[in-house]
Amino acid sequence: MDVVKAAQLSGRALERVVVHPLVLLSIVDHYNRVARDTRKRVVGVLLGTSSRGTVDVTNSYAVPFEEDDKDPRIWFLDHNYHESMFSMFKRINAKEHVVGWYSTGPKLKENDLDVHALFNNYVPNPVLVIIDVQPKELGIPTKAYYAVEEVKENATQKSQKVFVHVPSEIAAHEVEEIGVEHLLRDVKDTTISTLATQVSSKLAALKGLDVRLREIWGYLDLVIEGKLPLNHEILYHLQDVFNLLPNLNVNELIKAFAVKTNDMMLVIYLSSLIRSVIALHNLINNKMLNKEHEKAEDLKPSTIPAVAGS
């Protein structure tokens, strides 16, 4: 089956989609305002720039969207609202243009190709970014797609559009990074100590590593079984990963790891011990201070109110 990419017709094939934090915050806010605690999804427009096969999504706005749960062919997107909103955004930043649309899916739906065809009127090769606002697994909550024309081997059959996955990533400018850091600082739980926060972060990182290793494992199993073709680029990356792993058969390296671990455990133990001693010291000082206040109250002369004679 031969597939002709529509992206090549417009210039260059899409290689990756970069989503900025402002876009994620805007989409989550849109979902919480419109479709929270429901099975509905929200749809909006993505703004940004595209060059050299990379789509940089820097802004977005919501668009009124309705669809029939029983019949996916029945849907409504207010393109008049979209056109008026885009004209106002263009006055603020003329460099940003429509690069595609977003959906909170969390998966592709039957009418997505029809909605995608609507955005072909505003951009030659739009991208669809599905944002999982309630992710159940660790990882990037974005999946990007673009449409290609699938040509059948049989000339009598009509060609049709299909979605092709394109890699996506989260990136930010320096100003955005500062804003995100301040936002995370405001939502941080102050009841959790710094050590507990670090342990939770390490645990989350290990869980993410476990998910990635299982994904690699599954891919290699499918390649061995012949269900997937051999991709030399992926194997080269895996070989680079294995080359970076330390050789644990060297005694000096094992001893260095053991010494480093013991030093860290000693510091943690001493820190916990000092913290407990300081807490007991503060408790004793507090009780002594309370006793002194009680003695001072007892030594004060009691005043007897005078009774007026009749």
Q: What is the pLDDT of residue 7?
A: 38
What element of type H or E holds 168? Answer: strand 168-170
User: In sequence order, what DSSP letters do the residues of 61-81 get, joined into one string?
Assistant: EEE-EEE-SS-TT-EEE-HHH
Q: What is the pLDDT of residue 245?
A: 84
Q: What is the pLDDT of residue 117?
A: 92
CA distance to 44, 51, 159, 187, per residue, from 90 (Å): 16, 19, 36, 33
Taking the C-alpha atoms of residue 179 and residue 183, their distance in angstroms, rounded to an integer, is 6
Q: What is the pLDDT of residue 188?
A: 58
Give CA angle at 134 (132, 136), nearest 5°. 95
Taking the C-alpha atoms of residue 278 and residue 284, their distance in angstroms, rounded to an integer, is 10
Taking the C-alpha atoms of residue 102 and residue 61, their distance in angstroms, rounded to an integer, is 10
Strand, coil or helix: what is 55?
A: strand
pTM for this one? 0.62
Q: Are 164 and 145 in contact (CB under 8 A)?
A: yes
Beta bridge partners of 147: 163
Q: What is the chain's mean pLDDT, rounded?
A: 85
The token pair that represents 61 in the structure block: 């706005």
Burial class (CB in 10 A: 0-12, 13-18, 19+), 164: middle
Burial class (CB in 10 A: 0-12, 13-18, 19+), 16: middle
Q: How many CB atoms lie within 10 A of CB 254?
A: 13
Q: What is the pLDDT of residue 298?
A: 82
Taking the C-alpha atoms of residue 122 and residue 79, their distance in angstroms, rounded to an integer, is 10
Taking the C-alpha atoms of residue 174 and residue 17, their distance in angstroms, rounded to an integer, is 19
Q: What is the pLDDT of residue 10?
A: 42
Under DSSP, the state recorded for 286 is H
Strand, coil or helix: what is 273?
A: helix
Taking the C-alpha atoms of residue 167 and residue 173, their distance in angstroms, rounded to an integer, is 20
Q: What is the pLDDT of residue 75?
A: 93
The token pair that represents 239 in the structure block: 């070989």
Taking the C-alpha atoms of residue 29 and residue 102, their distance in angstroms, rounded to an integer, is 13
Q: What is the pLDDT of residue 5?
A: 37
The token pair that represents 145 in the structure block: 């797609």
Strand, coil or helix: what is 87?
A: helix
Which of 165, 230, 227 has the alpha carbon at shortest distance from 5? 165
Parts of the chain with a pLDDT under 50: 1-11, 310
Strand, coil or helix: what is 158?
A: coil
Give CA angle at 180 (176, 185), nearest 5°. 150
Q: How many CB atoms lie within 10 A of CB 105?
A: 17
Q: What is the pLDDT of residue 200?
A: 80
